[in-house]
Amino acid sequence: MSDKLKRKILDFFFPTRCPVCGELSGTFDRFCKDCKLKLHRYDGNYNVSRAVSFTATFVYDQSISPAIMLMKNGVCGNADYAFGNELADRLNEECVSDKIDIIIPVPMYRRDKKIRGFNQAELVAKVVGKRLGILVDSGSLAKIRRTKQQKSLDRKMRMVNVKGAYDVTVPEKIYGKRILLIDDICTTGSTLTELTALLLNNGASEVRCAACCKTPDLSEKKIPTV
């Protein structure tokens, strides 16, 4: 059964809704037309330390935040499909897709994943992987220590918060590989920086990073972070 047919069947029983406003949308729509017009494309030049590149689809602001919060509140809806396909488009546009061997989603602490019901970065990564035809590895990287919520910390404390919180569990699977790290949102980049260093120190040949959304530069209007 093709993915398109599966989606049509699923839409029959659970009609597709826009992950931003919740209104009904077309079977293969990512966002409704009204919300799509309000979203702001990310065209910044943010860099993650030691990573070859960084890709994001949207600027994280009030126009897109409901879709991110939907996933963080344990309701995926159409958000993984929408973000995954948008991110795959950007990776193709930036000619990154042919420079990746495996995709690794930023892992969640096991207890937190159980409470939420899923890891949103993993769901998005699976959509990206299917679109690009690249293996998604959700088992070689693990979060081994529960951390404080990043939104409550300043930049310096975010780095301290994630230090040593992750581990490579199957180093032979990442050795020599070109890896794409995927997260839902990038604020200060502390998590992506920590994981990039960890993967490189464990033998990855290079690491690229991607996120569904990137917060605005400090010079831009500040918004609530997650």
| Beta strands at 141-143 and 166-168: parallel, antiparallel or unpaired | antiparallel
Instruction: Name the pLDDT band for 221 (thresholds 50, 70, 90).
Output: very low
pLDDT value for 39: 98
Task: Report the SS3 class of residue 135.
Answer: strand
CA 143-146-147 angle, to 5 degrees, is 105
Q: Could you report the per-residue pLDDT of 18-58, keeping only the tens digit for each?
A: 999 999 999 999 999 999 999 999 999 999 999 999 999 99
Which residue's entry shows tokens 């096991």? 110
Q: Which residue in 199, 191, 188 sits closest to 141, CA to CA?
A: 199
Contact 79, 120 (CB under 8 A): yes
What global pTM score does this model have?
0.91
Q: Could you report the per-residue pLDDT of 182-214, keeping only the tens digit for each?
A: 999 999 999 999 999 999 999 999 999 999 999
Instruction: Name the pLDDT band for 161 (thresholds 50, 70, 90).
Output: confident
pLDDT value for 156: 80
